[in-house]
Structure 1
Amino acid sequence: MGSAPRGRFGLGAASLGNLYAPIDDEQAHAVLETAWELGIRYFDTAPHYGLGLSERRVGAFLATKPRNEFVVSTKVGRLLVPQRGTGLDPEFQVPADYRRVWDFSSDGVRRSLDESLTRLGLDSVDIVYLHDPDEYDLGPALAEGLPAVAALRDAGVVSAVGLGSKSAAALAAGARSGMLDVLMVAGRYTLLDQSALEFLPEAADVVAAGVFNSGVLATGEPSASARYEYAPVPPEVLGRAREIAAVCAEFGVDLPTAALHYPLREPVVRTIVVGAASPDEVRQNHARLQSTVPGDLWATLRDKGLIRR
């Protein structure tokens, strides 16, 4: 079986694909350079992120670094097919010059990886994740996709393979398949959602992503204008986030710091992956991870029923 990502803190590159708002190449490079200067050596991207823009930006940056000094992952399951421009992509602020086509077949998975390598300008990536099989059709996607990614590892094409998803059902199936090295658990092991506790004991290595649940946990005082699960935050979720923030404040800890530290308390969680659209965001999150969070904070959150036992 393959190896886990390197380090406790990895950089997620969705924002470098113009998620929510556009950034230029110079700013994207500055984000990546800041991460490197702070010692971050794990970079995660995907074709889905900006219709390949994220991969191109990550690849251009990593081309300037020694290959043996970083770990990079990308994802398979969506092929990018050229189309006539139809304005902006609905998910990322990029021209809609491609459309996403689901393909979890062995040929589709290998083609997706080959096209990612071209965009990245690399001969190889270290980890390939099966991406969002639940958004297609979970059963058929796993039946085809799990053997397809496992074959890449077994053939020595990549060092490790995994599954990345927001779906607890998909992640649980991946954990129980016995075919994967790592799970990327997106938003399912956070201060607001601990549904991953159902399958974490069966997982190998885990990368926790989406620890801010799309933004509602990213500020000290959760705002009604924040996002949760890529949509406006529901009132009941906002209320609970504010309760958690208040408890954190009692212990002198800001909410984003607690959100970053929480998943790492579980031994199977080796790394958290956090996105950034500016160098300052990288620096802030890096500094938060260097701080100490008192153990009594977690006990109080549990006693108040704000996180699961």
Structure 2
Amino acid sequence: MSLKNLLPGRLGFGTAPLGNMFRAIPDDEARATVEAAWDHGIRFYDTAPFYGAGLAEERLGEVLAGKPRDEYVLSTKVGRVVLDEHETDVPDFGEKGGLFEHGNPNRILHEWTADATERSIEGSLKRLGTDRLDIVWVHDIAQDFHGDAWLQKFEEARTGAFRVLSRLRDEGVIKAWGLGVNKTEPIELTLALDEPQPDGFLLAGRYTLLDHEHALTRLLPMAQEQGVDMVVGGPYSSGILAGGTHFEYQQAPAEIVERVGKLKALAEKHAVSIKAAALQFSLAHPASAAVIPGATRPSRIAEDTAALNETVPAAFWTDLRAAGLVSPAAPLPNNA
């Protein structure tokens, strides 16, 4: 199914921060944030077992349990099975370091086989307190977590998760499946396969104001040709485009800080919020079905909704292009 036909709006809610990413978030603050998303009309929620070893799913499920199930679209991910036993060693998250060090203490099995996929879905349904999932993404089979071994993980997923999810889609158990990754190469490889194809993909951090060239030239033409839609994750590049200091889940390097400074200066010149520029840029590509910024405070939801609906003058996009701050080939709003 086309994601554009399935998703109820262009703005969704990414729940990675609810897994205590970077900091320990009080339960009442997490609950209020999800309620704020609902109150602002957001009806697409994305989560994953990986986010705090099930914590984000639990928090999201607690709020959504009180909402009509037919009124929202829910996506989660496979590749991580949350175990009942507690972790005794420091988890290895590759480039992501101590991303969820404040999450649940449960040990996580990182596996993309058919059996692990079934177990992952079963665990997610329980934590979310629901009887069905709409979209399931195959999570993190890429270089940032596995280095040179990522192709082995990809093959494990191809013969495991891909086939399970294709079957579940064909049986009507789920409506769509795809990849949820921070790199373009696994999606490119998937689209080149002569096998059942995904309905879409969740690409985090790779189609933003700060990083879009590779996706634009390599991945997105393939996706458009095959009619495969994109959900844009991490539109604020881990927070640096929303007033934070993180880029790629780490402290932003000097060259990124300098580039963000130029973007902000141009935005201020045109009285445009940097959040509006970031969200509307990510949605301007024809393959984009939705964007899912994360949040941990209710006020951030209001900001995101306002940014999506903010009127950005065409002159801003024209100046952005002229300043060399976006690719010459990047589609811009207002056909700028």
Q: Which one of the candidate residues 164, 181, 194 is aligned to 1:165?
A: 181
SS in 1 for 2:241: coil
SS in 1 for 2:12: strand
User: 1:66: how far off?
Assistant: 0.6
User: 1:2: how far off?
Assistant: 5.5
Matched, 1:69 2:84: no
Gaps of 5+ in 1: none
1:121 maps to a residue whose letter is G
User: After the TM superposition, which of the residue ranges 58-67 and 244-253 deviates more from structure 2?
Assistant: 244-253
Matched, 1:257 2:276: yes
Q: Going by fraction, where is helix more abundant, 1 or 2? A: 2
Q: Which one of the candidate residues 307, 310, 318 is aligned to 1:299?
A: 318
Specify the alignment match of 2:333 in structure 1: none
Specify the alignment match of 1:190 in structure 2: 208
Structure 1 runs (4+) greater than 6 angstroms displaced: none
Matched, 1:120 2:122: no
User: 1:95: how far off?
Assistant: 5.5
Does the 8 Å CA contact 1:87/1:95 hold for their aligned counterparts? no
User: 1:148: how far off?
Assistant: 2.8
User: 1:87: how far off?
Assistant: 8.6
- Aligned partners of 1:121, 1:94: CA distance in 2, in Å? 23
Does the 8 Å CA contact 1:13/1:43 hold for their aligned counterparts? yes
Q: Deviations over 1:121-178 (max 9, x none)?
A: 1111100000001134234244223223222212222111011111111232234446
Percentage of pairs with the same residue: 38
- Aligned partners of 2:119, 2:2: CA distance in 1, in Å? 21
Q: Deviations over 1:242-264 (max 9, x none)?
A: 11221222211122221111111
Specify the alignment match of 1:46 in structure 2: 48
Q: Which one of the candidate residues 170, 182, 205 is aligned to 1:154?
A: 170
User: 1:306: how far off?
Assistant: 1.2
1:83 maps to a residue whose letter is E
Q: Which one of the candidate residues 201, 211, 222 is aligned to 2:221?
A: 201
Matched, 1:210 2:225: no
Specify the alignment match of 2:292 in structure 1: 273
User: 1:279: how far off?
Assistant: 0.4
User: Residue 84 and residue 65 in structure 1: after superposition, are their counterparts in 2 closer, same or farther (change >3 A)?
Assistant: closer
- Aligned partners of 1:284, 1:96: CA distance in 2, in Å? 29
Matched, 1:140 2:150: no
User: 1:62: how far off?
Assistant: 0.9
- Aligned partners of 1:304, 1:47: CA distance in 2, in Å? 41
SS in 1 for 2:211: coil
User: 1:108: how far off?
Assistant: 1.1
User: 1:32: how far off?
Assistant: 0.9
2:232 maps to a residue whose letter is A
Specify the alignment match of 2:105 in structure 1: 97
Does the 8 Å CA contact 2:136/2:178 hold for their aligned counterparts? yes
User: Residue 24 and residue 302 in structure 1: after superposition, are their counterparts in 2 closer, same or farther (change >3 A)?
Assistant: same
Q: Deviations over 1:61-117 (max 9, x none)?
A: 111011110001000011122334549873224365322222111111111001110
Gaps of 5+ in 2: 92-97, 329-336
Does the 8 Å CA contact 1:82/1:97 hold for their aligned counterparts? no
Specify the alignment match of 2:137 in structure 1: 129
- Aligned partners of 1:34, 1:212: CA distance in 2, in Å? 20
2:182 maps to a residue whose letter is K
User: Residue 285 and residue 2 in structure 1: after superposition, are their counterparts in 2 closer, same or farther (change >3 A)?
Assistant: closer
User: After the TM superposition, which of the residue ranges 113-122 and 148-157 deviates more from structure 2?
Assistant: 148-157
User: Residue 142 and residue 105 in structure 1: after superposition, are their counterparts in 2 closer, same or farther (change >3 A)?
Assistant: closer
Specify the alignment match of 2:331 in structure 1: none
1:92 maps to a residue whose letter is F
Q: Deviations over 1:286-305 (max 9, x none)?
A: 11111111223222222222
User: Residue 36 and residue 188 in structure 1: after superposition, are their counterparts in 2 closer, same or farther (change >3 A)?
Assistant: same
- Aligned partners of 2:305, 2:242: CA distance in 1, in Å? 13
SS in 1 for 2:189: helix
SS in 2 for 1:79: strand
Does the 8 Å CA contact 2:2/2:229 hold for their aligned counterparts? no
Does the 8 Å CA contact 1:51/1:94 hold for their aligned counterparts? no
SS in 2 for 1:82: strand
Number of aligned positions between the proteins: 304
- Aligned partners of 2:321, 2:83: CA distance in 1, in Å? 47
Matched, 1:174 2:198: no
